[in-house]
A and B are shown apart, each in its own frame.
Chain A
Amino acid sequence: MNNNYKANFRQVWKSMNLRLKIGLAIVLLFLILGFVVYLFSPGNVMGLSNFRKNLKPSWDHLFGTNKQGQDTFWLLISSIHMSMILGILVAFFATAIGVMMGLFAGFVGGAVDRVIMFVCDSIISIPSLPILILMGSVLKGRASIYIIALILILFNWPWPARQSRSMALTLRERDFINTAHFAGEGRFKIIAVEILPHVLSWSMANFVNTILVAIGAEASLAVLGLSSTTTPTLGNMIYWARQYQAIMLKQWLWIGSPVVATALLFIGLFLTYTGYNDYTAAKRGR
């Protein structure tokens, strides 16, 4: 039994292109940092004056401490943890809701379709950052990270809805669907058995991309001080570092580690996204 899994895994691994492999490796690294290493975190990383300030890196504090008296290393780990949770949460719900709405609109058609598409197009065509900034400043201080997540889900469900609706429309016309329909299969069964696999593979790619978008949006808000400033996220870490003039004070680890971590995480997610797209395209024989 075990051998089967190993063999399957090896085969799948071999067929993946380099881009996908590197991307997954990076994402895996961050998952380990954010969820495994995180388990050892001492908690309450955001507490001010936990430790003496501005200590150099040592075995007690791997990255030293910052001007707020926080342990930089554990702060980073917690930030990665929180940012990833936010990203995955938003991406999951936005993609799930979006795909369901899109398939529904595509199959039912008519007025329902038009209304849903109107809502989607409106949300898509309006630049999100200005609106997020406005919302952020209105909720300033009182926003918990989960409210931010909710708002981000609101902004990110229309895109997968649009895409899955087009898929539903094209698939609806395809012969094998009509065959199943004429053979008497119920509508929902058709959707589940025939359509879902197509949509699922696209959704996976979109899921990864949305993680990227969500973390990016929260980080942008955080850098402006509009996110939940008491929650450790990558963006907030950068915000506080800037507030305390970390660059001027040459506290490279404090400002540098979240910057590098964010850049690396995004590169990893992006490589996974495009690598996965190439992978599925190659499997389809394109």
Chain B
Amino acid sequence: MKLWKFILTRVGLWALTILVGVTIVFFIQRMLPSDPIETMIGKIVTMGSTLTPDAVQAIRESLMKQYGLSGSMLEQYVATLGRMLTLDFGPSMSSYPTAVSQLIGQALPYTVGLLLITTLISWIVGNAIGLLAGFKKNAWYSKFLETVSMCIYPIPYFIMALVIMILFAYINRWFPLIPSMPKFSFTFDWVKGVVYNSFMPALSLMLVGTGWWIISMKSLSSGVAEEDFVNYGRLKGLSEATIGYRYVFRNSILSQVTALALQIGGLFSGSLMCEIIFDYPGVGQLISTAIYNADYNLLIGLITISIIAVATATLIIDLIYPFLDPRIRYK
């Protein structure tokens, strides 16, 4: 019974978070000091794109709708919400008439793929190393690993990205400066192409990510290793391996799952920065294009999708948690 209540609360919070986020985006749009529509139309015309007067009028109307300059504030707000539910963000201004949702749809898989794989790998590897370091916290390698992680973790993702770029693409020409993703096909060649072109951003994300998991898992598991039930496990004559896995690991990993949920926002922001630095064809690069072209439709769409993505990822992890912790599942 309590489990259902938990699920419902979490889903409710998810919806609320998205609502608040979209509301904030809504109000930020209204912070524009000058008439953005005419400015944008002016910019588009001067950029020399071949637009018929009808097309210009269509853009003006869609922009009016987007900015909700028709109707009262409440009507505008409700309309925005409605459009968001159908993921309709209108046409992109820099790549007219492609729909914003289409552009995002093309970029999103790359971002999700990158994030998923790097997060998974760094979480697993980081926790494994951290567990070892925490369990055997007096061994020399424990201190060493912790120190190294402490020097890597605080470095912002984009700094790490720049360092890797300089080292791996300029000084040693191992990886391409500008990635070119092969067209999708279910072949090994495609996989190889993607991996080769994604290696640098992935490495940046994984290095910093792993550092964090090592540090937090080490402190967690060394704390758990001091607990009464772990000591008692030893008195029962159980082997160190059993203690390490069944006692220390299974109890520390719970906090790490929660920590993962809390970190999703930061991980997402980090991957955005890395994508931008490396010109990786994901959501991040789209954002930098949108900024450069003052393509507000695209930008608003991207920001909204970002908020939804982060909230959803957090929700998924929160829902997994009860299956790992019996204290939540029962009573």
Asked whether any CB of chain A lies closer than 8 Å to the CB of B21, the reply is yes
Q: SS class of chain A's interface: helix, strand, loop or mixed?
A: helix
Q: How far is the CA of A250 from the CA of B266 in the complex (A)?
A: 31
Within 8 A of A (CB), among B227-285: 264-266, 268-269, 272-273, 276-277
**Residues on A with beta carbons closer than 8 Å to the beta carbon of B158:** 219-220, 223
Asked if A133 meets B162 with Cβ closer than 8 Å, knowing A122-B17, A219-B156, A267-B151, the reply is no
Q: Mark A91-135, 1 if CB is under 8 A from B, else 0.
A: 000000000000000000000000000000010011111110111
Q: Mark A129-146, 1 if CB is under 8 A from B, else 0.
A: 111011101111010000
Q: Would A127 and B153 count as touching, CB distance under 8 A?
A: no
> How close is A4's CB to chain B, nearest CB, in angstroms?
35
Pick the contact of B300: A134, A139, A212 (CB < 8 A): A134
**Residues on A with beta carbons closer than 8 Å to the beta carbon of B265:** 125-128
Asked whether any CB of chain B lies closer than 8 Å to the CB of A226, the reply is yes
Q: Would A133 and B163 count as touching, CB distance under 8 A?
A: no
Pick the contact of B150: A138, A219, A248, A271 (CB < 8 A): A271
Pick the contact of B287: A126, A133, A256, A266 (CB < 8 A): A133
Q: How far is the CA of A263 from the CA of B204 in the complex (A)?
A: 14
**Residues on A with beta carbons closer than 8 Å to the beta carbon of B31:** 135, 138-139
Q: Would A220 and B151 count as touching, CB distance under 8 A?
A: no
By beta carbon, the residue of chain A nearest B311 is A125
**Residues on B with beta carbons closer than 8 Å to the beta carbon of A280:** none
Within 8 A of B (CB), among A182-227: 212, 216, 219-220, 223-226
> How close is A275's CB to chain B, nearest CB, in angstroms?
10
Asked whether any CB of chain B lies closer than 8 Å to the CB of A161, the reply is no
Q: Would A129 and B156 count as touching, CB distance under 8 A?
A: no
**Residues on B with beta carbons closer than 8 Å to the beta carbon of A127:** 264-266, 268-269, 306-307, 310
By beta carbon, the residue of chain B nearest A129 is B269
Q: SS class of chain B's interface: helix, strand, loop or mixed?
A: helix
Q: Would B291 and A270 count as touching, CB distance under 8 A?
A: no
Q: Would A216 and B156 count as touching, CB distance under 8 A?
A: yes
Q: Would A255 and B162 count as touching, CB distance under 8 A?
A: yes
Asked whether any CB of chain B lies closer than 8 Å to the CB of A36, the reply is no
Q: How far is the CA of A128 from the CA of B165 in the complex (A)?
A: 25
Q: Would B163 and A259 count as touching, CB distance under 8 A?
A: yes
Q: Would A19 and B25 count as touching, CB distance under 8 A?
A: no
Within 8 A of B (CB), among A225-267: 225-226, 238, 247-248, 250, 255-256, 259, 262-263, 266-267
> How close is A156's CB to chain B, nearest CB, in angstroms?
13
Asked whether any CB of chain A lies closer than 8 Å to the CB of B107, the reply is no
Asked if A267 meets B155 with Cβ closer than 8 Å, knowing A19-B150, A134-B300, the reply is yes
**Residues on B with beta carbons closer than 8 Å to the beta carbon of A166:** none
Pick the contact of B291: A19, A226, A248, A274 (CB < 8 A): A226
Report, as a range, how many residues of chain A touch the other chain: 35 or more
The winner among B13, B154, B166, B302 for most chain A CB atoms within 10 A is: B154
**Residues on B with beta carbons closer than 8 Å to the beta carbon of A129:** 268-269, 272-273
Q: Would A262 and B154 count as touching, CB distance under 8 A?
A: no
Q: Would B28 and A138 count as touching, CB distance under 8 A?
A: yes
Asked whether any CB of chain B lies closer than 8 Å to the CB of A269, the reply is yes
> How close is A71's CB to chain B, nearest CB, in angstroms?
22
**Residues on B with beta carbons closer than 8 Å to the beta carbon of A142:** 33
Q: Would A138 and B269 count as touching, CB distance under 8 A?
A: no
> How close is B207's CB to chain A, nearest CB, in angstroms?
12
Q: Would B155 and A266 count as touching, CB distance under 8 A?
A: yes
Q: Would B25 and A247 count as touching, CB distance under 8 A?
A: no
Q: How far is the CA of A105 from the CA of B71 in the complex (A)?
A: 38
Q: How far is the CA of A140 from the CA of B156 in the complex (A)?
A: 23
**Residues on B with beta carbons closer than 8 Å to the beta carbon of A226:** 291
Asked whether any CB of chain A lies closer than 8 Å to the CB of B1, the reply is no
Q: Would A126 and B307 count as touching, CB distance under 8 A?
A: yes
A-B contact pairs, 25 of them (CB 8 A): A125-B17, A125-B314, A126-B21, A126-B310, A127-B265, A127-B268, A129-B269, A130-B269, A130-B303, A133-B299, A133-B303, A134-B299, A212-B154, A223-B276, A223-B277, A224-B291, A247-B165, A247-B166, A259-B159, A262-B155, A262-B156, A263-B159, A267-B150, A269-B154, A270-B150
User: What 7 A-B pairs have minimum CB-CB distances, sorted nearest first?
Assistant: A129-B269, A270-B154, A127-B265, A130-B306, A266-B154, A122-B20, A130-B303
Interface residues of B (CB under 8 A from A): 13, 16-17, 20-21, 24-25, 28-29, 31-33, 150-151, 153-156, 158-159, 162-163, 165-166, 170, 264-266, 268-269, 272-273, 276-277, 287-288, 290-291, 294, 299-300, 302-303, 306-307, 310-311, 314
